[in-house]
Each structure stands twice: as structure tokens, then as C-alpha cells.
Amino acid sequence: MKGGRNLYIGLVHYPVYNRRREISATAVTNLDIHDLARCARTFDLPGFFVVTPLESQIQLVQRLVRHWLEGEGAIYNPTRKEALSLIQLSRSIEEAEQRIFHLWKKRPKRMVTGASPSPSAIDYEEARRLLKDQETPYFLLFGTGWGLIQELKDHSDYLLAPIEGKGYNHLSVRTAAAIILDRLLGDRKEKKGEEDGSIGDG
């Protein structure tokens, strides 16, 4: 697979909804960060932003990353180091977008995900097609807690269709993100002759 060299992902801990649909900040989860970093490396993404404004959480992630990049973890498990080196911390979505802009000299297109259907959502085929424009950076956001707030969805370039389960839309953010990345960038070589080949390597 060619991978998503123009696709950045962000795991958003604020602003998201809590259980009571209030705007809140969630705590960082070690496993989310590991799992998403490993997915990011698998699909050859250029960066994975952990978005949180909370100083305590920032320090926690810094400690985690240091352990695997420079500490004992780096010796114990070099493949984890490879994945976690993709992590960047940012205090807001906008700060992450600023950094992408700085690298690309182009504003990244913001693509948000969620579990609810919406008439304005684009499907995976369309999103795959968009990502083939390698001149444009994309920033794909995953919400923790009870999901990204509505205002964020309203201020995005694209809203991605939810993963349709049979009357059940309660995947963890880890597994949902993995499925979404595979749908966007995964090898489609099994679909012989149906794909133009610019992503799958055949």
C-alpha cells in the first residue's frame, strides 16, 4: 500500500461531549494512544496529533512517549518506538492545523468522524478519492468520550459517514479509527480491476 502521506489524524480530548452531552475534556488513555500510533504507522501516516488542553494530560503523554522513545521501552520494543514517534501533542485542533499548514503551506482540509448518520456525510469511496489528491493535506479527527461536538462538525470541510453496524453504533474509538483508516487507505488489491491502483500496490 502507498499509505496516507497527506493524511494526519487527531485524537481529540477536547472539545467532546460527556455522557450528559455537555462539552468537556476527557482523560488521555494509554491504550488509545498506543493503538492509534500503531495504526498510523501501519497506514504510513505522517503524523498523529493527541489533542488536549490539560497540562496534566500533556505531561502524561510526554512521559509515555519518552518511555517508548528514549527509555526502557525503546529497548524492550523498538517497533513500538517506531509507531510512537509519530505522536505530536497539541493543545487544540487549531494548533495542530497550524503546524500542518506550516509544513504544507496549505490549510489542511478538516474531516470529522462520528457515530451518527447525517445527510451531509460523505461515504468512504468519496473520501478515498479525495485523499488521492496528494497535494492537499487532510486532518481526520476522532472524538473520545461521547464524541466530537456538533459545532466542530458544522465547521469542518467533510463529515465522514459512520460505520454502519446492525442497529449498533458503539465501537471504541480505537477500533472505529482502525476500521476507518483501513477503509480510507487499506489495500484493496482483493478487488481486482475495480480500483485504479493509485493506493493499493496490487
* Chain contacts with its own copies (rule: CB under 8 A): 1-3, 31, 34-35, 38-39, 41-44, 79-80, 82-83, 123-126, 163-166, 168-172, 174-179, 182-183, 186-187, 189-192, 194
State in angstroms the smallest separation of the CB of 20 from its own copies: 13
Q: Which is nearer to its own copies, 126 or 154 (CB)?
A: 126
Q: Which is nearer to its own copies, 134 or 172 (CB)?
A: 172
State in angstroms the smallest separation of the CB of 7 from its own copies: 13
Q: Which is nearer to its own copies, 145 or 186 (CB)?
A: 186
Cell triple for 189: 488489491
Q: Which is nearer to its own copies, 86 or 152 (CB)?
A: 86
State in angstroms the smallest separation of the CB of 121 from its own copies: 12
Where does residue 146 rank: exposed (0-12), middle (13-18), buried (19+ CB within 10 A)? middle
DSSP state of 200: S
State in angstroms the smallest separation of the CB of 129 from its own copies: 10
Helices (H), the chain: 30-42, 55-69, 72-76, 78-84, 93-104, 124-131, 150-154, 173-185
Q: What is the CA radius of gyration of the chain?
A: 17
State in angstroms the smallest separation of the CB of 141 from its own copies: 18
Q: Which is nearer to its own copies, 3 or 73 (CB)?
A: 3
Cis peptide before 119 (omega within 30 of 0): no
Q: What number of other Cβ atoms are within 10 A of residue 111's Cβ? A: 23
Residue 92 contacts residue 120 (beta carbons within 8 Å): no
